[in-house]
Structure 1
């Protein structure tokens, strides 16, 4: 059984979805999630490469922006990934759906082995899995830097 007790509720639900399907269907689920990645908000659409940070560890061009609500202590995650990079978009969608709007601490407490808990090891190359790990690492680093200011 997949361990989800230490995950935020919305992220645990995604991990449980992956655990519920056979290995050969995990990639299909990831592709489905890639289509759910929200469009960029208007303020990022023009020159997003200048207003967003590139996650260079990803094989495909992936850009990240974070919006902080210090009064509530929450962060919104905004990703841009090309349609022709569906696995990258899928990973971004998982993080966006699973973490966006949560408290800084909930995001920082997200286990670093999230990419392994999705059970995608047989469907996706290790390099792509490291890309997802890098995305989560970048999100956490940005929160730590924001809190240090």
Structure 2
């Protein structure tokens, strides 16, 4: 599945929810399913600045694709990470760069997150795109 197809699938999943409380809960549940993130990866090198909560993203290039491991100490932010990983994890740098995060506006996340959460979300996106540009 391409990153664009993953965005479309995500949008369709969110259409099932009638209200934002249910959507928030779904996002939190997605975050709870993130893979383990070892303590030794929680370093300044992987920490994302600009987030209200603690966030770490550890990149690794595997067969020309960028693999991302990530975690946050906040439930909703871990869920946002899960959304980003669903779209951008294990993609080629070019596919990442060719896939703007249109799903954020289409889902309405930009309107339903606090300004500090929004800033953190865009800081995570900036890191992902910076990693792709560096490859």
| TM norm structure 2 | 0.83
Runs of 4+ in structure 1 deviating by more than 3 angstroms, as ranges, are: none
**Cα 1:113–1:58 shift into 2, 3 Å:** farther
State the superposition RMSD in angstroms.
2.2
**Cα deviation 1:36-95 (Å, max 9, x = unaligned):** 21112xxxx2422237511111110000111112xx42111110212xx11110011111
Select which of 60, 65, 69 maps to 1:74: 65
Pairs within 5 Å for 1:1-149: 7-24=3-20, 25-40=22-37, 45-50=38-43, 52-69=45-62, 72-82=63-73, 85-121=74-110, 123-145=112-134, 147=135
Larger helix fraction of residues: 2
Unaligned runs of 5+ in 2: none
Alignment size in residue pairs: 133
What displacement does 1:122 show? Answer: 5.1
| TM norm structure 1 | 0.76
